[in-house]
Amino acid sequence: MEKTVKSNASEIDIVIAWVDGSDPEWQREKAQFAPSSMPDSASSVRYRDWDNLQYWFRGIEKFAPWVRRIHFITWGHLPEWLNTSSPKLHIVRHSDYIPQEYLPTFNSHTIELNMNRIEGLSEQFIYFNDDMFIIRPVEPEDFFRNGHPCDTYGLNCIYFGQNSAGHFCGSDLEVINTEFKGQKKSIMKRDRKKWYSMKNGAKICLKTRLLSAWDWFPGFHYDHLPSAFLKSTLDEVWSKYGEVLDKTCRDRFRSESNVNQWLFKFWQLCKGCCEVRSPQFGRAFHIDDSNFGELCSTIRDQSCSMICVNDTPETTDPETKMLRVRECFEAILPESSSFEK
């Protein structure tokens, strides 16, 4: 049996990207540039603030106090309540780490692809969107074991649909199947215990088995949840496919041809440098009227460790839903954190 080496919590950072879509200065700068052909690339839904970020910080402090440092990425604006003098907080403006030729950017992929350039970022880090929260106690070993990121191993098909991320997955897979051409079967044989671990769940294992016959990767299981990365993974992909990443970063808004940060996740799975973690560790809710009640009960009952509260074009009556979500977070995280003034 492989011995599990405890991760050194002092070496695990968090990166979170946040934008205040209501900031007039940011809106004026954004208006100077024409969006891409993607229908939602400049949509207000993509930048709508649910005013719940304080609960993200409360969740980190209460449920993951072992985190070494939080790198808070911002265009330049900051929440009025944020305690910027907190010793664990590193404010990172786009201009602090994104190369000048890519700025200004309104493309989340540019913001994410360059994370390895953040000054002082640790080798082990967890990346959060600002709609992803920790809602019950977690340990370093939930994210890194034996110095390796924790993730779910699984093959899947790419879904292409209106407002889907299929285009980005396709671009990611183009890189993956170029880099690991002819290696799929040997990769899956090498890491067979990971790909077919029941920790992944029976349904995911079945999909993986059905999709294992082809010589190329058709796609990977993906949950819209925080991801554990090695900084060296990003460095390696940039060193080998810098032209591909550069092309994405030159798009000021998201475009169908872009790669995204899932490329780093898929790369780590192919390298076999991940430890298996159950997909039940977290849940992602793409909010609509059919799942909103379940979202609220999941937060209140703390029935998983991580949750994504994803605003979508199908999110009706957002003001009411924002208020109810804040009430749910307040029920489990009523006390202010040291990150609040």
Q: Between residues 143 and 1, which one has the greater pLDDT?
A: 143
Does the pLDDT of residue 80 top 70, yes or no?
yes
Tokens found for residue 314: 């199908």
pLDDT score of 321: 86
Each residue of 147-167: pLDDT tens digit? 999 999 999 999 888 778 889
Each residue of 12-57: pLDDT tens digit? 999 999 999 889 999 999 989 877 655 555 455 556 677 899 999 9
Q: Which residue has the tokens 């999110």?
A: 315
Q: In a 10 Å sphere around its CB, with 0-12 CB exposed, 13-18 middle and 19+ buried, how is residue 123 labelled?
A: middle
Tokens found for residue 255: 């475009």
Q: Which residues pair with 180 in a beta bridge?
A: none
Which of 32-41, 56-65, 303-312, 317-326: highest mean pLDDT? 56-65
Does the pLDDT of residue 312 top 80, yes or no?
no
Distance between CA atoms of 75 and 94, rounded to whole angstroms? Answer: 5
Q: In a 10 Å sphere around its CB, with 0-12 CB exposed, 13-18 middle and 19+ buried, how is residue 183 labelled?
A: middle
Element (H, E) at 148: strand 148-151
- Closest CA relative to residue 225, chosen from 172, 176, 278, 300: 278
Q: How much is the average pLDDT of 1-20? A: 74
- Claim: this prediction has a pTM higher than 0.75: yes
Distance between CA atoms of 170 and 192, rounded to whole angstroms? Answer: 25
Does the pLDDT of residue 2 top 50, yes or no?
no
Return all residues near 100 (Cβ < 8 A) that are at least 6 apart: none
pLDDT score of 38: 57
Each residue of 196-251: pLDDT tens digit? 999 999 999 999 999 999 999 999 999 999 999 999 999 999 999 999 999 999 99
Bond prior to 35 in cis (omega within 30° of 0): no
Does the pLDDT of residue 1 top 50, yes or no?
no
Q: How much is the average pLDDT of 265-288? A: 95
Helices 292-301 & 318-332, crossing angle to 10 degrees? 10
- Closest CA relative to residue 238, chosen from 227, 248, 226: 248
Mean pLDDT over each residue of the chain, to the nearest integer: 92
Does the pLDDT of residue 294 top 60, yes or no?
yes
Distance between CA atoms of 172 and 169, rounded to whole angstroms? Answer: 5
Distance between CA atoms of 256 and 5, rounded to whole angstroms? Answer: 41
- As a whole-number percent, the residues of the chain with pLDDT over 90 amount to 82
pLDDT score of 289: 84
Does the pLDDT of residue 288 top 90, yes or no?
no
pLDDT score of 272: 97
Does the pLDDT of residue 7 top 60, yes or no?
no
Each residue of 163-183: pLDDT tens digit? 788 899 999 999 999 999 999
pLDDT score of 3: 45
Q: How much is the average pLDDT of 131-159? A: 96
pLDDT score of 40: 55
